[in-house]
Structures are given as C-alpha cells and as structure tokens.
C-alpha cells in the first residue's frame, strides 16, 4: 500500500513505485514489493495502473465539505462510468478553483456538487484544480429546494423553483437546456 515502509536506502536503492523520506524507502503505489538481490534495488509492481489517481489524471468527485479557502472532495473515479474500487480524498484550494479571482470556494461550488478536476499531487490527500474550461461543476443541485440545476446559456437554473445560482461550470455540464427558455 502507499506509504508502507520497505527498507532503508543503505539496504536497497529505491526504484519505480517507491519514494524516499528521511533515508527510508516507502511504497508509492498499491502493488507487490520486489527486492532485486543482484542489483540491490527495491521496486513496487503496481497491481492495477488506475488503482489510484496520479498527477495529470482528470477525475470525477463529489464535494463533501467546504470552508472559505478549501473544498474537500471525495474522488470517485476517472469518470462516472470508470470508478475506483476505493474512494480517495481530494483538496481543492480557492486559488485552484478558477482562472479568475474567486473570493471564497462557495462562489464556485457547493457541498453535494459533482465536479471534474485534475490531480496535481502524487499522494493522498490529492491536490486538485478546476482551472481549465472542461473542469469544474458537472452536476449541481438547488440550494433552496434540492432539485437539479439545468444550464441555460451561462447560468444554472433550478428545474423546480426557478432559482438562479452561480458555479464554476464545466463545459461538460450534464444537464443542458438548448434554445430559448
């Protein structure tokens, strides 16, 4: 498992699937540790390449908590159809929400929103960004009545009560109304 202790650098040189912290070698991925006695190297063979997110992956997650400066995201998978066996925790800092200045995280997303984000870090909790146009909220719910919000033009409108809400909306938002309202 990631962060499992394998050995010290003096015993085996770290190789793929490992990292060093204070002279100790740890696993960086889920997999099987292999100790090469001839070359004195240790590496970890990953069980499954997509067992956990890696930097550069675009993932889908649900906002589970938020403060003014940070949102907590439950990372579900690489898409709604390709989910991870286990969920992971992601952190979305207010500076990584949008290319434009955002005062608080609540100006761009809310608890319960489904988002598409890019992974920036290699270890949990994963640092995320939604700065690109295809990243951001892909499904949101009304803060008043809980009904799904539909994208009409550049705005999100409640399908039940008509409330209009602001989000950092992805170009891939799931509910879109075409034409005039």
With H, G, I as helix, E, B as strand and everything else as coil, classify residue 31.
strand
Q: Tell me how many domains the chain contains.
A: 2
Report the distance separating Cα 52 and Cα 54, nearest Å. Answer: 7
* Burial annotation 140-168 (CB, 10 A radius, 16+ → b, else e): bbbeeeeeebbbbeeebbbeeeeeebebb
Q: Is residue 137 part of a domain?
A: yes
Look up the domain containing 19 and give its range: 5-46
Q: What was the pLDDT predicted at 51?
A: 72
Q: Give the tokens for residue 44.
A: 């970890």
SS3 156: strand
Region 129-138: mean pLDDT is 95
CATH of the domain at 87: 2.40.50.140
CA distances from residue 17 to 4, 7, 20, 100, 126 in whole angstroms, order as listed: 11, 14, 11, 36, 17
Could you tell me the end-to-end alpha-carbon distance of the chain, in angstroms, rounded to an integer? 52
> In this predicted structure, what is the pLDDT of residue 163?
95
pLDDT at 106: 94
Establish if 177 belongs to a structural domain: no
Domain identity same for 30 and 119: no
Are 41 and 86 contained in the same domain? no
Distance between CA 152 and CA 179 in Å, rounded?
8
- Predicted TM-score (pTM) of the model is 0.71
User: Would you say residue 159 lies in a domain?
Assistant: yes
Q: Which of 36, 30, 28 is nearest to 11 (CA)?
A: 36
Q: Are residues 70 and 144 in the same domain?
A: yes
pLDDT at position 127, please? Answer: 97
Q: Is residue 41's pLDDT more than 60?
A: yes
Q: Is residue 77 part of a domain?
A: yes
Instruction: Identify the band that residue 67 occupies on the pLDDT scale cut at 50, 70 and 90.
Output: very high
What pLDDT shows up at residue 50?
52
Backbone angles phi, psi at 138, to 5 degrees: -110, -15
Confidence check: pLDDT of 88 > 60 = yes
**pLDDT score of 126 more than 50:** yes
pLDDT of amino acid 181:
42
Among residues 127, 126, 128, 125, which one has the least CA distance to residue 137?
128
pLDDT value at residue 45: 86
Say yes or no to pLDDT of 103 above 80.
Answer: yes
Percent of the chain surpassing pLDDT 90: 75
The residue ranking higher by pLDDT, 47 or 43, is 43
147, 77: one domain:
yes
- Alpha-carbon gap, residue 108 to 131, rounded angstroms: 11
């Amino acid at each position: 498992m990631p962060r499992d202790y394998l050995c010290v650098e003096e015993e085996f040189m770290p190789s793929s699937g490992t990292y060093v912290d204070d002279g100790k070698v740890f696993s960086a991925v889920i997999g099987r540790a292999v100790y090469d006695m001839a070359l004195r190297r240790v590496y970890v063979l990953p069980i499954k390449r997509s067992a956990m997110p890696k930097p550069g992956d675009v993932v889908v997650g649900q906002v589970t908590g938020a403060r003014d400066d940070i949102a907590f995201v439950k990372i579900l998978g690489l898409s709604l159809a390709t989910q991870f066996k286990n969920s992971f925790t992601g952190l979305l800092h207010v500076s990584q929400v949008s290319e434009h200045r955002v005062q608080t995280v609540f100006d761009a997303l809310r608890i319960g929103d489904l988002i598409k984000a890019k992974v920036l870090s290699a270890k949990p909790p994963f640092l995320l960004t939604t700065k690109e146009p295809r990243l951001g909220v892909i499904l949101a719910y009304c803060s008043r009545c809980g009904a799904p919000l539909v994208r009409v033009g550049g705005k999100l409108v409640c399908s039940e009560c008509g409330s209009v809400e602001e989000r950092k909306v992805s170009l891939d938002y799931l509910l879109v109304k075409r034409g005039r309202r």
